[in-house]
Each structure stands twice: as structure tokens, then as C-alpha cells.
Amino acid sequence: MKKIGEYTMRGQLAPSTLNKRLYLFDGSFKSAYRVVKFEVTTNLPSNSTSDASLILTTEPNISSNEWDWDDNTQIAWGAFITQGTDTGSFPLSYVDPDNLIVDDLFISAFVASGRKANYMIHLEKYEISEGQGALTMVRNKSQGAD
């Protein structure tokens, strides 16, 4: 794999946004992206009721705010938790270090009190072989339940 670029995607989501498509696929199976950092907050981070939870997936399959690290389609998780204006806020972010995406990403947001969720996704782009591209696409698909 040869690194060929760095990119940033950012935006804002309404509460209970499920499976919003983030377009990455460039028509080639010889390039792939890796999420290296996932940052989240709300549009009003100083408000004590502005909690948010976001999930990045490789398939549009999120129906609830469940962080399932056994689900190979979930590749990044972020939360913004507030404890009141006098105790501060606590952003959390986890990214699967082995993620690789050939197709598009999907983002889902669960936000308290009608707030909006902000996100910033840092990506690296790689040149890969067609074989790696095909294997990556299979890996990023849901393999079904046990």
C-alpha cells in the first residue's frame, strides 16, 4: 500500500440521523481510504444537555445507538458527553486501526435535547491492488449473525 493523500470530511447532522452516506468511492478498486481520526461535538458544546453519540459504518445498517465492536461494519465511534457547565465536557473517540474503505462511508448520530452533532473525519488515501480492493469490500460487508 502506498499513501497518496490526506483528506478531511466535516459536517453537521440533525438528531437521530441514521445512515447518512458520505461519498468516498472514486470508481476505482485500486484506491482505498483509512479513517485515522474521528472527532465529534454538538453545535452547542457548553450546554449541559448536549450529549451526542456517532457511529461510522461501511454499510447503512444502523438502527439504534449501539456501539457493537463485534460488528465488522462499524469502524469508528465518537461521543461528546457534558457534565454541566461547571464540570466540563468529555469527548471520546475510537477508531478501528485496521479499517480500510474502498466504497462509501455511512454516519449515524444520536443527539440529546434537539441539538445538532458536528463531526470531522480525518482520512488517508492509499493506492492498493485490485485484489486488495476486492478483499476489502468483502471484509467491510456484514457477514451475518453467528
The letter for the amino acid at 63 is: S
**What whole-number distance in Å separates Cα of residue 136 and Cα of residue 33?**
11
**Domain layout of the chain by residue ranges:** 2-139
For residue 74, what are the β-bridge partners?
57
Q: Which of 118, 111, 81, 120 is nearest to 16 (CA)?
A: 111
Which three cell numbers, joined as nine digits, stand for 83?
457534565
Can you give the pTM of this predicted structure?
Answer: 0.89
pLDDT score of 86: 57
Burial 87-118 (b: 16+ CB within 10 A, else e): eebeeeeebeeebbbbbebbbbbbbbeebbbb
pLDDT score of 101: 94
**What whole-number distance in Å separates Cα of residue 55 and Cα of residue 66?**
9
The topology (CATH level 3) of 2-139 is Jelly Rolls (2.60.120)
pLDDT score of 31: 92
**What whole-number distance in Å separates Cα of residue 3 and Cα of residue 133?**
15
Give 10-residue mean pLDDT values along the chain (146 residues): 95 94 91 96 78 94 93 94 68 93 94 88 93 79 62
Contacting residues for 87 by C-beta, under 8 A, at least 6 apart: none
Contacting residues for 27 by C-beta, under 8 A, at least 6 apart: none
